[in-house]
Chain A
Amino acid sequence: MTDSAQTLERLAASDYQYGFVTDIEQETVAPGLNEDVIRLISAKKQEPEWLLEWRLTAFRHWLTQQQPQWARVDYPPIDYQAISYYAAPKQKGDGPKSLDEIDPELRRTYEKLGIPLAEQAILAGIAVDAVFDSVSVATSYKGKLAELGIVFCSFSEAVREYPELVRQYLGSVVPYRDNYYATLNSAVFSDGSFVYIPPGVRCPMELSTYFRINASNTGQFERTLIIADEGAYVSYLEGCTAPQRDENQLHAAVVELVTLDNAMIKYSTVQNWYPGDAEGRGGIYNFVTKRGLCKGRDSKISWTQVETGSAITWKYPSCILRGENSVGEFYSVAITRDYQQADTGTKMIHIGKNTRSTIVSKGISAGHGQNAYRGLVKIMPMAENARNHSQCDSLLMGDQCGAHTFPYIEVQNPTAQVAHEASTSKISEDQLFYCRQRGISTEDAVSLIVNGFCKEVFKELPMEFAVEAQKLIELKLEGSVG
């Protein structure tokens, strides 16, 4: 924390450093949603007939659904006809053949974001699939991964190259009827990432996708599908940013994970969408459905999320523990300040024998922020010896914010052991006094205490991400106490 003066200066200049807009020629479909728009998206992506049918079925089902009202968030009704459902950087010719061919303007955008594309990728050792508004721009490190048989590409490419895999797994974890936003996504999803790790392969590097919303009045509806075949392992990172705009933008993504026998997927997110300004104008509505299926025995899915952005976050990364001895984990830090609202948590559905799950959720509210943990732990009758432990802690900073906890615990098997604990507190005067007495400024003391509060979650993040997350939180909470 030696550079805290610098940090402050940086802050004074701009609270949200990713709020720039990239001037780039965009190809956007006119706002509105109907079957023609869906046909158009599908045609633009040269999709097979079955996928178009799937989209249309989802769309017809969506028309019969109603926007969910149960979350503890408050926002004006969304006009789904005012949103453009497709925005792509205009391509010259047939699209980039290699990394060097990517529009330099776009490259600069990612450089500003600190995304290790191309050469940077080699230094950082991360393979990146960057999604810009609706289409996947470039996927680095492809060749190296291909040697191992790993498929890491954009969703549209996967539909073209690996249709059987996509058809087999698409909608198998999050069916198109799942919920309002997942159904909308199934109808209009534009791109996203696709990962397949073949049996017995341990992915040698962290795979990463970077999402960015650039065009105004567009929604981003990406879809991610990750399959870890028997004995495979992959760690996947996801990051997000968006420009500063006064109007709200919608982000409704779907992520599906599947692990077969002995496989493991570790999925980490640092979500830093534009949260709106200090008065609560603008910002991203982040309505995301993420779910993993532990299909095989001894498989494991681990979710780690750091939620710092978005005007509204509505997100419940879940695990269906079907395979025997499978393990689900959820580690979350959610921060709300100004007028941000977060309603986030997880679902752990225990179906198989000896399944285990761990939930650690840390909520921090400052300013007028509202932070809710909402989670379900369900032990089905067949889940002998299932175990769950949940811990949800909330930290309140300021007297205008709120922290809420809504756990649902449903146990239908007597051999299960389920425990839930939660606490709510503020940074105590004693703790601050202790630090200040030792010459640590209030600001640094707060950041020290908050980092300690979040440590259990940060230690689950890959190292570069953990550092970024820690910085992000310091920035976020600057000036909240003291």
Chain B
Amino acid sequence: MTAIAPLLSDPYHQSFAAFMAERREPEFISRLRQAAFARFETLGWPTRRQEAWRFTDLSDLQALTLQRPSTALIDAAALPSLEIPTHRLVFVNGRLAPGLSQVRELPERAMIAGFSQALPDHSALIEPVLDSLPGLQSHPFAALNTAFWEDGALIYLPRNAVIEEPIHLVFYATGGDMAVYPRLFLMLEQEAQATVVVECRGQGSYCNAPLAELQLSHGATLHYHQVQEESPQAFHLSGIRVRQSRASQTQLHLFSSGGQLARTDLEVLLDGEQAECLVNGLTLGQENQTGDYHLRIEHAQPHGTSEQVFKSVLEGKSRSVFDGMIHVRKHAQKTDARQTNRNLLLSRHAQAHANPRLEILADDVKCGHGSSTGFLDPDAEFYLRARGIPLAQARALLVHAFAKDSLTRIALTPLRERLDRVLATRLALDSLEGN
């Protein structure tokens, strides 16, 4: 595939052999790992000559992905909090930290646990479904995650189970040039409902490559939030793949403000009639940051609805990349799919790349997309200044309004308010709420 792949495969081979030698786990997992590693070898290390990686410069990252994480302890004060009762699982350098985690009372047969804890008793439940979703097959970091994950979160809700408290997952990395591959597997049976918040954080230099698999049965509802506030030196390469059955609903909220390079690859398969999916993204970029999103919504069945709304606010020399695809299969008639990408460039050196794509093979559909990139509207600026608001404040107000539109879609109040504060700090403003 690429010229570099054979050169690299040797150290990866050694690393993988050493990793496999220490693992004590059921055979089906070893098989998955072997298959994933083989897939990574065929895919090779992504280069900028590949269309999907054109804007993602990974040259500084290669060495990092080989370093195995160390064990470390962190202070509970460093962890983000939602300030309301939650089920919390904290993973430090990819391993569950039981002392920092707490799972409250759950409905019967429901499970929120670390993989390492749950595997011995529940492999019959996990085996048929783990790594079974079709998405992200050509994503090298999804393959690396499956080959190298050590621990992760397992969330299972049986039929009709509704969990009110949010499930709060923290993937924390303590730095020191290493790669962590946390994993999330979530399965909602018929009519089950859950709210999940995944927070990615850390300190120093590291690569965080989490992979989430989300499966929803008939009528299930999931509100999923990924909050990426990695350290400024970190690389974040996350993968999310989703399969939705009939009449299920998901809201995927992706917030990104940290890391030197943050990329999320998302694939949603709407595999049942009347499935609904909202993907809502907000990227705040400054200095040399790159915020990179690659989405694919696959409409496989009729009457599906999907909406993608992505916004970015870019300062300094930051860059945003939005590559969104709506793919409507032949018999997915009556699909209603929408895609919006809006980028606000606040500095001379900021860059936005938008690539909103539609591939439509059914004729009775409503599909549309729009993209706009630019600076603040001078008329709006003038309007505010004419009312005595200084220029700097007027601009901050307008930027805040632009970004806040994304936050208002988040139903989880404590998270929305916290992110709004992050936004306000970025814009050097006190929260404008209520003014």
**In the complex where A396-B363, A424-B358 touch, is A409 in contact with B371 (Cβ < 8 A)?**
yes
**In the complex where A409-B352, A409-B354, A424-B368 touch, is A403 in contact with B360 (Cβ < 8 A)?**
yes
Are A398 and B355 touching (Cβ within 8 A)?
no
**In the complex where A405-B357, A419-B372, A420-B372 touch, is A412 in contact with B351 (Cβ < 8 A)?**
yes
**In the complex where A399-B330, A407-B354, A416-B373 touch, is A423 in contact with B363 (Cβ < 8 A)?**
no
Are B363 and A420 touching (Cβ within 8 A)?
no
Chain A residues with CB under 8 A of B345: 411, 413-414, 416
Q: How far is the CA of A416 from the CA of B365 in the complex (A)?
A: 33
Residue B31 CB within 8 A of the other chain: no
Chain B residues with CB under 8 A of A399: 330, 333, 362-364
Chain B residues with CB under 8 A of A70: 51
B126-164 vs A, Cβ < 8 Å mask (1 yes, 0 no): 000000000000000000000000000000000000000
Closest to B366 in A: A425
Q: How far is the CA of A70 from the CA of B52 in the complex (A)?
A: 12
Are B350 and A414 touching (Cβ within 8 A)?
yes
**In the complex where A399-B330, A410-B353, A414-B348 touch, is A420 in contact with B358 (Cβ < 8 A)?**
no
Q: How far is the CA of A399 from the CA of B331 in the complex (A)?
A: 8
Question: Which one of B51, B345, B347, B365 has the highest number of Cβ atoms from chain A below 10 Å of its Cβ?
Answer: B345
Chain A residues with CB under 8 A of B358: 394, 403-405, 422, 424
Are A421 and B355 touching (Cβ within 8 A)?
no
Are B343 and A422 touching (Cβ within 8 A)?
no
Nearest CB of chain A from residue B44's CB, rounded to whole Å: 17
Q: How far is the CA of A2 from the CA of B347 in the complex (A)?
A: 59
Are A420 and B360 touching (Cβ within 8 A)?
no
Please provide the chain B residues from 166 to 198 with a CB less than 8 Å away from any CB of chain A in the complex: none
Nearest CB of chain A from residue B308's CB, rounded to whole Å: 13
Nearest CB of chain B from residue A265's CB, rounded to whole Å: 28
Chain A residues with CB under 8 A of B363: 396-399, 401, 426
Residue B39 CB within 8 A of the other chain: no
Are B368 and A404 touching (Cβ within 8 A)?
no
Chain B residues with CB under 8 A of A417: 372-375
Please provide the chain A residues from 10 to 61 with a CB less than 8 Å away from any CB of chain B in the complex: none
Chain B residues with CB under 8 A of A403: 358, 360
Are A402 and B357 touching (Cβ within 8 A)?
no
Chain A residues with CB under 8 A of B359: 72, 402, 404
Please provide the chain A residues from 368 to 406 with a CB less than 8 Å away from any CB of chain B in the complex: 381, 394, 396-406
Nearest CB of chain B from residue A395's CB, rounded to whole Å: 9
Nearest CB of chain B from residue A405's CB, rounded to whole Å: 4
Are B374 and A416 touching (Cβ within 8 A)?
yes
Query: Among the listed B351, B356, B357, B366, which residue makes an inter-chain contact with A411, where contact means beta carbons less than 8 Å apart?
Result: B351
Are A424 and B365 touching (Cβ within 8 A)?
yes
Residue A415 CB within 8 A of the other chain: yes
Are B367 and A424 touching (Cβ within 8 A)?
yes
Chain A residues with CB under 8 A of B366: 424-425
Interface size for A (C-beta < 8 A) is 35
Are A422 and B365 touching (Cβ within 8 A)?
no
Are A420 and B370 touching (Cβ within 8 A)?
yes
Residue A162 CB within 8 A of the other chain: no
Nearest CB of chain A from residue B137's CB, rounded to whole Å: 19
Nearest CB of chain B from residue A221's CB, rounded to whole Å: 28
Residue B200 CB within 8 A of the other chain: no
Residue B223 CB within 8 A of the other chain: no
Residue B361 CB within 8 A of the other chain: yes
Nearest CB of chain B from residue A414's CB, rounded to whole Å: 4
Chain B residues with CB under 8 A of A416: 345, 373-375
Counted as pairs of residues, one from A and one from B, with CB atoms less than 8 Å apart, the total is 116
A232-243 vs B, Cβ < 8 Å mask (1 yes, 0 no): 000000000000
Q: How far is the CA of A397 from the CA of B363 in the complex (A)?
A: 7
Chain A residues with CB under 8 A of B351: 410-412
Q: How far is the CA of A418 from the CA of B344 in the complex (A)?
A: 11
Chain B residues with CB under 8 A of A394: 358, 360
Nearest CB of chain B from residue A77's CB, rounded to whole Å: 20
Q: How far is the CA of A416 from the CA of B375 in the complex (A)?
A: 7
Are B375 and A419 touching (Cβ within 8 A)?
no
Residue B346 CB within 8 A of the other chain: yes
Nearest CB of chain A from residue B172's CB, rounded to whole Å: 35
**In the complex where A397-B363, A402-B360, A422-B369 touch, is A407 in contact with B348 (Cβ < 8 A)?**
no
Nearest CB of chain A from residue B361's CB, rounded to whole Å: 4
Residue A408 CB within 8 A of the other chain: yes
Nearest CB of chain A from residue B99's CB, rounded to whole Å: 47
Nearest CB of chain B from residue A71's CB, rounded to whole Å: 12
Chain A residues with CB under 8 A of B330: 399-400
Q: How far is the CA of A398 from the CA of B360 in the complex (A)?
A: 12
Query: Among the listed B348, B360, B368, B370, which residue makes an inter-chain contact with A396, where contact means beta carbons less than 8 Å apart?
Result: B360
Are A426 and B372 touching (Cβ within 8 A)?
no
Q: How far is the CA of A411 from the CA of B373 in the complex (A)?
A: 7
Are A418 and B374 touching (Cβ within 8 A)?
yes
Query: Among the listed B346, B367, B373, which residue makes an inter-chain contact with A409, where contact means beta carbons less than 8 Å apart?
Result: B373
Question: Which one of A394, A397, A420, A426 has the highest number of Cβ atoms from chain B below 10 Å of its Cβ?
Answer: A420
**In the complex where A407-B355, A411-B343, A414-B345 touch, is A419 in contact with B360 (Cβ < 8 A)?**
no
Chain A residues with CB under 8 A of B333: 399
Chain A residues with CB under 8 A of B350: 414
Nearest CB of chain A from residue B360's CB, rounded to whole Å: 5
Are B348 and A413 touching (Cβ within 8 A)?
yes
Are A411 and B365 touching (Cβ within 8 A)?
no
Are A414 and B375 touching (Cβ within 8 A)?
yes
Nearest CB of chain B from residue A126's CB, rounded to whole Å: 39
Please provide the chain A residues from 265 to 318 with a CB less than 8 Å away from any CB of chain B in the complex: none
Q: How far is the CA of A411 from the CA of B344 in the complex (A)?
A: 10
Q: How far is the CA of A275 from the CA of B149 in the complex (A)?
A: 53
Are A409 and B353 touching (Cβ within 8 A)?
yes
Are A420 and B371 touching (Cβ within 8 A)?
yes
Are B353 and A423 touching (Cβ within 8 A)?
no
B26-70 vs A, Cβ < 8 Å mask (1 yes, 0 no): 000000000000000000000000010000000000000000000
Closest to B338 in A: A423
Q: How far is the CA of A410 from the CA of B359 in the complex (A)?
A: 21
Closest to B344 in A: A414
Chain B residues with CB under 8 A of A419: 370-374
Are B360 and A423 touching (Cβ within 8 A)?
no
Q: How far is the CA of A135 from the CA of B266 in the complex (A)?
A: 53
Q: How far is the CA of A400 from the CA of B363 in the complex (A)?
A: 8
Chain B residues with CB under 8 A of A408: 353-355
Closest to A415 in B: B375
Are A402 and B361 touching (Cβ within 8 A)?
yes
Chain B residues with CB under 8 A of A409: 352-355, 371, 373
Chain A residues with CB under 8 A of B51: 70
Are A411 and B360 touching (Cβ within 8 A)?
no
Nearest CB of chain B from residue A132's CB, rounded to whole Å: 39
Question: Which one of A394, A402, A411, A416 has the highest number of Cβ atoms from chain B below 10 Å of its Cβ?
Answer: A411
B323-355 vs A, Cβ < 8 Å mask (1 yes, 0 no): 000000010010000000001011111111111
Q: How far is the CA of A414 from the CA of B365 in the complex (A)?
A: 35
Chain B residues with CB under 8 A of A424: 358, 360, 365-368
Nearest CB of chain A from residue B119's CB, rounded to whole Å: 43
Closest to B351 in A: A412
Q: How far is the CA of A422 from the CA of B363 in the complex (A)?
A: 16
Chain A residues with CB under 8 A of B343: 411
Q: How far is the CA of A405 from the CA of B361 in the complex (A)?
A: 12
Chain B residues with CB under 8 A of A412: 351
Q: Which residues of A contact B (CB under 8 A)?
A: 70, 72, 381, 394, 396-426
Given A408-B354, A410-B352, 19 more pairs with CB closer than 8 A: A72-B359, A399-B330, A404-B359, A406-B355, A407-B355, A409-B373, A410-B351, A410-B353, A411-B374, A413-B345, A414-B345, A414-B375, A417-B373, A417-B374, A417-B375, A420-B372, A425-B365, A426-B364, A426-B365
Q: What are 9 A-B contacts defined by CB distance under 8 Å? A: A398-B363, A399-B333, A401-B361, A402-B359, A410-B351, A411-B373, A413-B345, A420-B369, A426-B365
